[in-house]
């Protein structure tokens, strides 16, 4: 039997061929996945990966598509969208499937009288994506609440098994985790440790975070959030600090906070706001957002990203690093 038939029999309409990926990404950009599967349980994820590996079909996993730029040529293999969304709460502990929507988990935890995760109500995407990128905002980071992560990985014997990694073994740092280094590991669930709180206060805090985000970010247009990571001050050399002093008359020191220099400010100061390639544009509202004005392509975004990087490097001597993850066109797959 042909493998599309096998997958179609198992997944029904949740298996599709030539699936346009722009409908699954926040950017509204991306060519077709040769095969696409929506996996609603860990067993479905495991079976699809085992099958793809056996058939030597390239595969990648995908969450909410809020941090991903899919190539215009799409992906020549199986895109497995994690949709295991179950959430259970026991005491102050929240266990969420990797496909659970982060904002929904934050709301559920708040309503259950738990505090510490309210900031995540404003974070697009899934728990799996948030753990992998150690996503954070408003002073909170995923690593602050994760107790352990359940990960699907291949044993030496070739079996796909689930291991539990305590947070200390997850290599969390700013927008990074061990899962970015071990790209064939699939996060299937995370256990979050929160604190007893008050549901009404959590609701209020969430409304405040949502309002602050709406005021500062171009949420009315498709984007993938911040294009680049912020600049970590401890990584700046003396020469770079001197170049920054010369370029800004020292004002950058007042703008930096929490050990970082916001890249949105750097991009703005480099005169890149409103810079446009095709339908991809650096937002006028937030310098670190590329917005899709309607028909932007991945190539437009990549050209724009290179332009900004070149300008910033020339003016400030700083290399910006992309936060947005690429899928297809040679980006890592298995
Ligand atoms: C408007 C907007 C605002 C944003 N603001 C913020 C912010 O304030 N802070 C912040 O940190 N981010 C922000 N982001 C980025 C994004 O929301 C986060 O990075 C989010 O956690 C990504 O989750 P996702 O499920 O959408 O990931 P996806 O885009 O689906 O995937 C991202 C990467 O993770 C991998 N991946 C996904 N799921 C798994 C899994 N289960 N196991 C292993 N790998 C996996 C994918 O292969 C891909 O490489 C913003 C995005 C948007 C659109």
Separation between Cα atoms, residue 58 and residue 3, nearest integer Å: 13
Helix (H) or strand (E) holding 42: helix 42-55
Third-level CATH fold of 222-327: 3.90.78
**What is the CA angle 108-100-126, rounded to 5?**
110
Separation between Cα atoms, residue 116 and residue 282, nearest integer Å: 33
Pick from 6-15, 154-163, 200-209, 307-316: least confident: 154-163
pLDDT tens by residue, 223-258: 999 999 999 999 999 999 998 898 889 999 999 999
Please work out whether the CB of residue 142 comes within 6 Å of at least one atom of ligand 1. Answer: no
pLDDT at 220: 94
CATH 2.60.40.10 fits 87-214, yes or no: no
By percentage, how much of the chain surpasses pLDDT 70? 98
Atom of ligand 1 nearest to the CA of 25: 29
Helix (H) or strand (E) holding 189: strand 186-193
Residue nearest to atom 50 of ligand 1 (CA): 225
| E-assigned strand segments in 203-303 | 231-232, 260-261, 276-277, 280-282, 290-292
Q: Could you tell me the residue ranges of all domains in the chain?
A: 3-82, 87-214, 222-327
Residue 288 has pLDDT above 80, yes or no: yes
Q: Calculate the alpha carbon distances from 313 to 16, 37, 59, 205, 247 in Å.
A: 43, 41, 35, 38, 12
pLDDT at 318: 92
Separation between Cα atoms, residue 317 and residue 288, nearest integer Å: 18
pLDDT tens by residue, 56-65: 999 999 999 9
Residues 21-28: what's their mean pLDDT?
98
**SS3 (DSSP) at 25:** coil
Q: Which CATH number fits domain 3-82: 3.40.140.10, 1.10.620.20, 3.30.43.10, 3.20.20.70?
A: 3.30.43.10
Between the CA of 117 and the centroid of ligand 1 the distance, in Å, is 16
Global pTM reads 0.96
Task: Judge whether 77 and 34 are in contact, CB under 8 Å.
Answer: yes
pLDDT at 332: 64
Atom of ligand 1 nearest to the CA of 130: 21
Atom of ligand 1 nearest to the CA of 60: 47
Task: Judge whether 264 and 223 are in contact, CB under 8 Å.
Answer: no
Separation between Cα atoms, residue 141 and residue 137, nearest integer Å: 7
């Amino acid at each position: 039997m042909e493998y599309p038939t096998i997958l179609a029999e198992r997944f029904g309409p949740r298996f599709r061929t030539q699936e346009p990926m722009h409908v699954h990404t926040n950017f509204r950009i991306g060519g077709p996945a040769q095969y696409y599967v929506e996996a609603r349980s860990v067993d479905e994820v495991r079976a699809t990966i085992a099958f793809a590996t056996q058939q030597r079909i390239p595969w990648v996993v995908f969450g909410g598509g809020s941090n991903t730029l899919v190539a215009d040529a799409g992906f020549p293999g199986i895109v497995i969208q994690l949709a295991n969304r179950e959430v259970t709460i026991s005491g102050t502990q929240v266990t969420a499937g990797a496909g659970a929507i982060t904002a929904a988990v934050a709301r559920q935890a708040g309503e259950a009288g738990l505090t510490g995760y309210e900031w995540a109500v404003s974070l697009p995407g899934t728990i799996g994506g948030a753990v992998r990128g150690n996503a954070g905002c408003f002073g909170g980071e995923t690593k602050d609440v994760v107790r352990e992560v359940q990960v699907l990985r291949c044993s030496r014997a070739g079996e796909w098994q689930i291991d539990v990694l305590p947070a200390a073994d997850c290599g969390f740092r700013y927008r990074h985790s061990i899962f970015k280094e071990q790209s064939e590991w699939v996060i299937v669930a995370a256990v979050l440790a929160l604190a007893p709180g008050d549901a009404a206060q959590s609701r209020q805090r969430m409304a405040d975070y949502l309002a602050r985000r709406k005021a500062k970010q171009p949420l009315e247009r498709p984007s993938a959030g911040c294009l680049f990571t912020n600049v970590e001050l401890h990584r700046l050399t003396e020469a770079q600090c001197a170049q920054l002093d010369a370029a800004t008359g020292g004002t950058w020191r007042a703008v930096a906070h929490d050990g970082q220099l916001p890249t949105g400010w750097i991009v703005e100061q480099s005169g890149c706001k409103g810079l446009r390639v095709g339908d991809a544009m650096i937002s006028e509202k937030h310098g670190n957002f590329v917005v899709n004005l309607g028909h932007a392509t991945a190539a437009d975004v990549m050209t724009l990203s290179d332009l900004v990087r070149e300008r910033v490097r020339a003016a400030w001597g700083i290399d910006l690093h992309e936060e947005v993850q690429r899928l297809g066109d040679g980006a890592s797959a298995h």
